[in-house]
Amino acid sequence: MFTDWQAFRAAFLNQLQSMHGKSLEEASPEDKYTALAVMVREYISNAWVQTNKHYENKGEKQVYYFSIEFLIGRLLGANLLNIGVRSEWEKWLAELGIDLNQLENEEPDAGLGNGGLGRLAACFLDSMASLQLPCHGCGIRYKYGLFEQKILDGYQVEHPDNWLKNGCMWEIRKFDKAVQVKFGGTVWSEEKNGKLVFHHDNAQTVLAVPYDIPVIGYQNSTVNTLRLWSAETVQEDFDLLAFNQGNYVKAVEYKYSIESISEILYPDDSHYEGRVLRLKQQYFLVSAGLQSIVRRFKKKHGSILDFAEKISIHINDTHPAMAIPELMRILMDEEGLSWNEAWQITKNTIAYTNHTILPEALEKWPVDIMKSLLPRIFMIIEELNKQFCSHLWSHYPGDWQRIASMAIIADNYVHMAHLAVVGSYSINGVAKIHTNILKQDVMKNFYHFYPYKFNNKTNGITHRRWLLKANPDLARLITNSISPSWIYYPQYLSTLLRYSEDAAFLEALDKIKETNKMNFANWVHNKYGITIDGSSIFDVHVKRIHAYKRQLMNALRILELYTRLKENPNLEMVPRTFIFAGKAAPGYFLAKRVIKLITTLAAVINNDSTIQGKMKVLFLENYSVSLAEMIFPAADVSEQISTASKEASGTGNMKFMMNGAVTIGTLDGANIEIHEEVGDDNIVIFGLTAKEVMNYYQNGGYRPWELVQSDTRLRKLLDQLVNGSLPVPREEFRVLYDSLVNSDEFFVLKDYAAYVEAQEKIDMLYRDNSRWNKMCLSNIAHSGKFSSDRTISEYAIGIWKAKPVVIGDILEPY
């Protein structure tokens, strides 16, 4: 767009002036950020309109990815990168005395997700647009994203994340595209011309208003849409109530009760919560999303009977599973199709991804709640259940136990995963082992009944954000060595292997890591006043805090190492900096105590001068996408130590690998595939296998207290949690102690010895600098498989049957 700096400068100054009425000298960093964001928006606006037009006119199959979470993070930097102007604009801004990185930090970090599931959805959007696929996101515009975490006196404290307080620069409110969503009331039917017609009386009507965010493909003119829905009152309702009853306060309460639907993101990623508001959110999302899709479809296509040919709806876990009965409702009650016609279309339109096998995370809603909140939807689910069970009966006559285990409604609950499986044409897990566990264990009966529906799609991450943007020096080295092809074809990273024996290349790699570590150390110093040794091993454990992810195992080993170091200050070890970050669900007491344990260790260890700085422990506040972008490039060691079978895939493991960190991990989730790619020599694997873990579970677990009795070292270590040797009240960590000794549900003690041994191996490996660098190189070179471009191509070909659509070379402004 801008041929030179002069033109850029004029446009930027003009933007500052028209938006803020300020000159460059007067403008605040936030003013400059918003001005720049508007320039980006204008730059892509034409391409956005053209992309939509193209999709409408050409009639290609459209895919809609429904997700209750999209953890998109900041967009300015990623957008500039994908447009292809980032380095040029960065240079031009610098000439105006502006640091682009600093402007990027002005943007609120859109935390509309909890962790893996939400970030995956965001990576997928980037790949869909970059692969020129006509795929769009559909989610909720939460007013408050995931809480902001502060650490006070070593404890997690939650603060609201009011990310919209100064507005969002990327969204466009489309009031004319609003739809109505109905809750409660009563449903009755009457026969008209031989057809049942349903009426919904006394419902509470909510206005769903869409806000569209552009999703820009990597240098290709495709601009897809992420549509986020916001709940508002239907204007007339609000006014009427206030006017007729003269009760202003009541009317305001009513307004608030409606708006509360899109007020806040539920802050738990591993536990389902049976709150009515959550159910409302889920239905709000699917009803609004589907109504707008059907409306758009009808505008352009002839027959609704072709719907499944032209549309795929993907449901990200079971949260949007009510898309199944809602599509049935729309097709029957609004479009006049018969049950059978509607069912054919629905089950050929919807595809489902499962993201967890944790039983406490599998959603089931009490029948009475669903019945009163969503009467028509419940009727449809009931009918679906009846038909499905009778279908099962004809296949498995007399096998009541099997049928009860598969029913959609059982024990007065609606089982959302069952609904999702029955109502979709494809069900996938997110890593090979996870899909196998679904097939052989958790969904065994369903797999037996519908073997053709099940498939695997191993997760991926966008290499554009997580390498090209987050680690520019490494990206430059790669591009200079093997050409920029890897940006388009990430599997091409494997050609880096030709540098395995190239001392100069390995040295360059080493230097980049060193610089990233130094930058990170400086940031830590500025923010926390803690000095960390840039030449120590940066050993990083960042993710949600959860018992199955076993931050506790890492903390125990830190305590043991520290104790050994105290006993023997000359202990031979490479100095280590242990870095933790992650949020605990606000109601998850045990996880919060683990945070307190880590911060307590940090306080003790970081202030102990007798250990000569050989260890440091950091717990970084408020883990977020932006913080993650800083951490991954600086990591040496990636902690992926979940109890085998519990981590469906993991995606942090992929981000570390792509940035040249070496994994210490269990054979769980995608670690297994990372191991397959890099081989035994470039990863450190330890611990029980999934099979072993599951065998224990089936046979009632193991007896940790016996292990503790027989293992002096373990006993001594655990005693330190409760014997007053840590500077906290003696009972502070009793719950952690008890959970380990009494049940050890996640095999922390069982895997402990193997973990310590694996950590010692890391220590040995790191001492051989050239060997270590080769391991880093191998990890980077084999990370291409874990690009979400690969994952999304597999979804497009294998599930959606969607084809790329070339928009043409129109990425131009104005």
517, 541, 544, 592: which is the annotated catalytic residue?
544
Does residue 356 belong to the site contacting ligand 8GP (CB under 6 A)? yes
CB proximity list for 373: less than 8 A, separation 6 or greater: 183, 184, 276, 279, 280, 283
Residues 652-711 close enough to bind ligand 8GP by CB under 6 A: 669
The single residue of 32, 74, 329, 355 carrying the catalytic annotation is: 355
The least distance separating ligand 8GP from the CB of residue 789, rounded to whole angstroms, comes to 16
Rounded Cα–Cα distance for residues 147 and 130 (Å): 31
CA–chain centroid gap for 641, Å, is: 19
Measured distance CA(284)–CA(309) in Å, rounded: 25
Cα 104–chain centre separation: 21
- Smaller CB separation from ligand 8GP, 415 or 517: 415
Element containing residue 169 per DSSP (H, E): none
Q: Which is nearer to ligand 8GP, 117 or 323 (CB)?
A: 117
Q: Which stretch binds ligand 8GP (CB under 6 A): 166-174, 184-192, 606-614, 642-650?
A: 642-650
Question: Would you count residue 649 as binding ligand 8GP (CB under 6 A)?
Answer: yes
The whole-angstrom separation of Cα 609 and Cα 606 is 8
Among 117, 241, 521, 802, binds ligand 8GP (CB under 6 A): 117
Listed in sequence order, the DSSP H helices in 545-646 are 551-567, 589-606, 625-631
Closest contact distance (angstroms) between CB of 433 and ligand 8GP is 11
> 243 is written with which tokens?
């006017």
Q: Which residue is nearest to ligand 8GP (CB)?
A: 116
- How many residues are there in the chain? 814
Which range, of 113-121, 564-572, 706-714, 779-787, touches ligand 8GP by CB under 6 A? 113-121
Beta bridge partners of 152: 155
Any catalytic annotation for residue 655? yes
Nearest alpha carbon to residue 657 among 679, 635, 681, 627:
635
* Among the listed residues 240, 227, 237, the one whose alpha carbon sits nearest the alpha carbon of residue 112: 227
Is 639 an interacting residue with respect to ligand 8GP (CB under 6 A)? no
Of 17, 104, 124, 11, nearest to 64 by C-alpha is 124
Angle between helix 76-83 and 116-130 (nearest 10): 20
Choose the stretch contacting ligand 8GP; rule: CB under 6 A; options: 115-123, 180-188, 280-288, 612-620.
Answer: 115-123
The contact pattern for ligand 8GP, residues 243-262, with x = CB under 6 A and - = no contact, is: --------------------
Cα→Cα distances 473→123, 513, 570, 655, 814, Å: 22, 9, 37, 16, 33
Q: Say which residues have a Cβ less than 8 Å from residue 699's Cβ, sequence separation at least 6.
A: none
How far apart (Å, rounded) are the C-alpha atoms in residues 139 and 621? 27
Residues 602-621, interacting with ligand 8GP (CB under 6 A): none
From 239-247, 353-361, 397-405, 565-573, give the range in contact with ligand 8GP by CB under 6 A: 353-361
- Binding window for ligand 8GP (CB under 6 A); candidates: 57-65, 498-506, 641-649, 787-795: 641-649
When binding is defined by CB under 6 A, the residue of 31, 107, 109, 317 that contacts ligand 8GP is 317
Site string for ligand 8GP, 701-740 (x = CB under 6 A): ----------------------------------------
Contacts with ligand 8GP, 422-441, as mask; x by CB under 6 A: --------x-----------
Q: Between 117 and 370, whose beta carbon lies closer to ligand 8GP?
A: 117
**Minimum gap (Å) between residue 26 Cβ and ligand 8GP:** 45
Q: Is 361 in the site for ligand 8GP (CB under 6 A)?
A: yes
> Between residues 62 and 114, which has the closer beta carbon with respect to ligand 8GP?
114
DSSP 344-405: HHHHHHEEEE-----GGGS-EEEHHHHHHHSHHHHHHHHHHHHHHHHHHHHHSTT-HHHHHH
Is the Cβ of residue 494 or residue 649 nearer to ligand 8GP in the bound state? Answer: 649
Q: Is 271 or 527 the residue whose CB approaches ligand 8GP more closely?
A: 271
Q: What b/e readout covers 643-679, taking b as 16+ CB neighbours within 10 angstroms?
A: bbbbbbbbbbbbbbbbbbbbbbbbbbbbbbbbbebbe
Task: Check: CB of residue 403 under 8 Å from CB of residue 389.
Answer: yes
* DSSP strand pairing (537-542 vs 350-353): unpaired
Which H or E run contains 798?
Answer: none
Nearest to 72 by CA among 140, 5, 30, 121: 121
Dist. CA 41–CA 359, nearest whole Å: 44
Q: What are phi and psi of 373, to 5 degrees?
A: -80, -35
Separation CA 643–CA 701 (nearest Å): 13
Residue 653 beta carbon to ligand 8GP: minimum distance, rounded to whole angstroms: 9
Applying CB under 6 A, the site for ligand 8GP has a residue count of 18
Mark the segment that binds ligand 8GP (CB under 6 A) among 49-57, 116-124, 414-422, 587-595: 116-124
Q: Which of 44, 103, 634, 648 binds ligand 8GP (CB under 6 A)?
A: 648
Among 650, 660, 665, 784, binds ligand 8GP (CB under 6 A): 650
Q: Nearest distance from residue 628's CB to ligand 8GP, in Å?
A: 14
- Smallest separation (angstroms) from ligand 8GP to the CB of 465: 16
- Catalytic annotation present for 439: no
Q: Could you give the dihedral angle defined by the CA atoms of residues 628, 633, 638 and 643, in that order, rounded to the nearest 10 degrees?
A: 30
Q: From the candidates 434, 513, 655, 750, give the one annotated as an active-site residue.
A: 655
CA distance linking residue 712 with residue 466, whole number of Å: 44
CB of 788 to ligand 8GP, least distance (A): 11
Question: Closer to ligand 8GP at the Cβ: 649 or 759?
Answer: 649
Q: Residues 90, 232, 333, 647: which binds ligand 8GP (CB under 6 A)?
A: 647
- Looking at the Cβ atoms of 631 and 648, the one nearer to ligand 8GP is 648
> With contact defined as beta carbons under 8 Å apart, do 209 and 291 qualify?
no
Let me know if 458 is a catalytic residue.
Answer: no
- Identify the residue among 120, 332, 512, 540 touching ligand 8GP (CB under 6 A): 120
Note whether 638 binds ligand 8GP by CB under 6 A. Answer: no
* Contact with ligand 8GP (CB under 6 A) among 130, 149, 651, 682: 651
User: How many other β-carbons are positioned within 10 Å of the β-carbon of residue 497?
Assistant: 14
- DSSP characters over 651-690: SHHHHHHHTTPEEEE-S-TTHHHHHHHH-GGGSEE-S--H
Of the candidates 32, 319, 513, 543, the residue annotated as catalytic is 543
Q: In the bound complex, what is the minimum distance in angstroms from residue 282's beta carbon to ligand 8GP?
A: 12
Smallest gap from Cβ 642 to ligand 8GP, in A, equals 8
Instruction: Write down the least CB distance from residue 610 to ligand 8GP, Å.
Output: 40
Residue 181: phi and psi, rounded to 5, are: -120, 135
Q: Shortest approach of ligand 8GP to residue 267 CB, angstroms?
A: 11
* Residue 504: CB minimum distance to ligand 8GP, A: 37
Q: Coil, strand, or helix at residue 408?
A: coil
Let me know: does 62 contact 55? Beta carbons within 8 Å: yes
Q: Examine the residue annotation and report whether 395 is marked as an active-site residue of this protein.
A: no
- Establish if 333 lies at the interface with ligand 8GP (CB under 6 A): no
The residue among 591 and 648 lying less far from ligand 8GP, judged by its C-beta, is 648
Which residue, 69 or 333, has its beta carbon nearer to ligand 8GP? 69
Eight-state DSSP code of residue 224: E
Active-site residue, from 319, 549, 774, 782: 549
Q: Does the annotation count 448 as an active-site position?
A: no
Catalytic residue check, 391: no
Residue 116 touches ligand 8GP, criterion: CB under 6 A:
yes
Catalytic residues: 355, 543-544, 549, 651, 655
Binding site for ligand 8GP (CB under 6 A): 115-117, 120, 269-270, 317, 355-356, 361, 430, 459, 647-651, 669
